[in-house]
Chains A and B, each alone.
Chain A
Amino acid sequence: MERQIYAYACRRCGALHYPFRMVCRECGDNGPHEFDPVPLPKEGTLLTFTFVHNLPAEYEVARLGLGVVELSNGLRMLGQLEIADPRLGMKVVGEVKVVRQEAYERRYGMVFRAA
């Protein structure tokens, strides 16, 4: 099954949040656990990006692409980029993959490539 990253919809006003938070930013009115998980869309537009050269020790690459993407439902997220020559405003599509390999754990996150 395809892996997903989830946004959280407020059960009272419907506002979507990513990442998870305990109180709705829109209505401020909900109790704990009053959010429904909704998969984040995978398509979006690249808002800004960088290539990081001084990486934490776990990363065995020379440089790592990172970018902020505005997803098709208007939410934004940070993700890794597998794009050699990114441009501001380009269309991208994401896939959930391993983004950080720790000693005893693989951490998953969104990795974007050109659409």
Chain B
Amino acid sequence: MREVYAAGVGITSFTRLEYPLVEIAAYPAMMALLDAGLKAVDQVYVANMGSARLNSQTALASAVVDTLGLTPAGAERIENGPASGASAVKQGFLGVASGMYEAVLVTGCERMREVNNLEATDFVATMTHPLAEYVYGVTLPAHAAMFTRLYMQRYGVTERHLAMVAVKNHANAMKNRFAHLHQPITIEGILDSPEAFTNNPYVSEPLRFFDCCPVSDGGAAVILASREKMAELGKPLIRLAGLGQATDTLAVFERPDPTDLLAVRRSAAAAFAMAGLTPSDVQVAELHDAFTILEIAESEEAGFFPKGEGHLALEKGVTSLGGALPINPSGGLKGKGHPVGATGIGQVHEIVTQLRGEAGDRQVAGAKVGFTCNFGGFGNNVISMVFVREE
């Protein structure tokens, strides 16, 4: 396999966007091409989960490649639930690593706010088991809530720990101009004050409003290129050194241990093995905190902390900006937003920006190794990646 590098990145604000889905894919793609100094690529991958249902548009990749003027490059849309973004990066990686392509564009996009909140929640719930889960009215917040209840009972995680994740990630998002939520919050305001229950009502007990990511529109893109191509471009050498993917049962209740995110553990282990690195080598991580509990659980399954101790590291500030291992400096899904098809590429955008040393106020000093975890379904299709800055 050839080595593969991130040559350029681009992103839109994650927010409510009032322009067509194709443009949400194309703007970050243009920024990524400009960043890389490229006018053409061999292949385009478009990550998206909901265009057919939310935006009444199919064959999205044909529209994106055309609007960018990149024809006759090949183009495909990749749909893999909320892991669509990392799945598309994986396809791009394989295209370049195999020697078939020199440079590919991977762009992700989602326009979820074209429908109302209830429809968006129902749309996301269609990724659950149709007969054994979806039919009961289960939502992704409900899955996360049932998982949280067990985590609380078994490991001593409290509502206060969950709120600490939200406060941290909102604070990080304040330093990211592309983030959806520019709203500083406090433990007092969402948990302790007499108004806290009004400010922060239940979405699915015990999870509250500020435990859940927002419903966002947005796009993010990355150009992947071979070593030979990188030599022409003269950009910093950020290598996609490890990539692991693992699946698990579709119905969450079928797993032997319901608090075990086996696919996160397996995908992270595979990514570290491929990179020849360990979790202790990582200086910055972007985890899939669609719900606050997931940042805590993934930080354990990825190998950064022992099982059941992620919330203790959070308490000590280890995962804050300035801590030993900052997690979600971008604001994460919680603060930066979660346009489902773009999220995995948004994580790559942040890690590449961090490893280049271009993250401004939220820069993790001297970061050379970064990690991403893009969590599809409720842990049934997970992709982890390790990025390394080469000198």
A interface residue numbers (CB < 8 A to B): 18-20, 47-59, 63-64, 66-68, 76-80, 88, 99-100, 107, 109
B115, chain A: closest CB distance, angstroms = 11
A53 to chain B, nearest CB (A): 5
A48 touching B150, Cβ below 8 Å: yes
Q: Are B254 and A76 in contact (CB under 8 A)?
A: yes
A54 contacts B139, CB within 8 Å?
Answer: yes
On whether the beta carbons of A66 and B118 are closer than 8 Å, the reply is no
Q: Is the pair B205, A78 in contact by a Cβ cutoff of 8 Å?
A: no
CA distance A47 to B259 in the complex (A): 11
B135 partner residues in chain A, CB cutoff 8 A:
99-100, 107, 109
Question: Is the beta-carbon distance between B129 and A52 smaller than 8 angstroms?
Answer: no
Give the top 9 A-B pairs by smallest Cβ distance, nearest first.
Answer: A50-B145, A19-B132, A56-B122, A76-B253, A48-B146, A51-B205, A52-B204, A68-B253, A52-B142
Choose from B117, B133, B137, B149 the contact partner of A48 (Cβ within 8 Å).
B149
- Chain B interface, >50% SS class: helix
Q: Quick one: which of B177-215 are within 8 Å of A by CB?
A: 201-207
Inter-chain contact A99/B149, CB cutoff 8 Å = no
Which residues from A are CB-within-8-Å of B141?
52, 54
- Known contacts A18-B254, A56-B137, A78-B136; 20 additional CB pairs below 8 A are A19-B131, A19-B132, A20-B131, A47-B253, A50-B205, A51-B205, A52-B137, A53-B205, A54-B118, A54-B139, A55-B137, A56-B118, A58-B137, A63-B202, A63-B205, A66-B137, A66-B138, A77-B253, A78-B252, A99-B135
CA–CA, A20 and B71, complex, Å:
44
- Please indicate the chain B residues that have their CB under 8 angstroms from the CB of A49 in the complex: 146, 149
Contacting residues, chain A, for B117 (C-beta < 8 A): 54
Residues of A within 8 A of B251 (CB): 19, 78
The residue in chain B whose Cβ has the minimal distance to the Cβ of A111 is B136
Contact with A along B140-170 (1 / 0, CB 8 A): 0110011101100100000000000000000
A78 proximity list for chain B (CB < 8 A): 132-133, 136, 138, 251-253
Query: How far is it, in angstroms, between the C-alpha of A50 and the C-alpha of B132 when the chains are bound?
Result: 16
Within 8 A of A (CB), among B239-257: 251-254
Closest to B207 in A: A50
Q: Are B132 and A77 in contact (CB under 8 A)?
A: yes
Could you give 5 example pairs across A and B, Cβ below 8 Å? A52-B204, A53-B205, A88-B149, A100-B135, A109-B135
Given contacts A51-B205, A77-B253, A88-B153, whether A56 and B139 have CB atoms under 8 Å apart is yes
Answer whether A68 and B146 are a contact pair too, CB < 8 Å, given A51-B202, A56-B125.
yes
Q: Does B228 sit at the interface, judged by CB under 8 A?
A: no
Determine if A100 and B137 form an interchain contact, defined as CB atoms under 8 angstroms apart.
yes
- Cβ B137 vs Cβ A18 within 8 A: no
Residues of A within 8 Å of B133, CB to CB, are 78
Q: In the complex, are the beta carbons of A53 and B125 less than 8 A apart?
A: no
Q: Which residues of the partner chain B approach A58 to less than 8 Å between Cβ atoms? A: 137
- The chain A residue sitting closest to B130, CB to CB, is A19
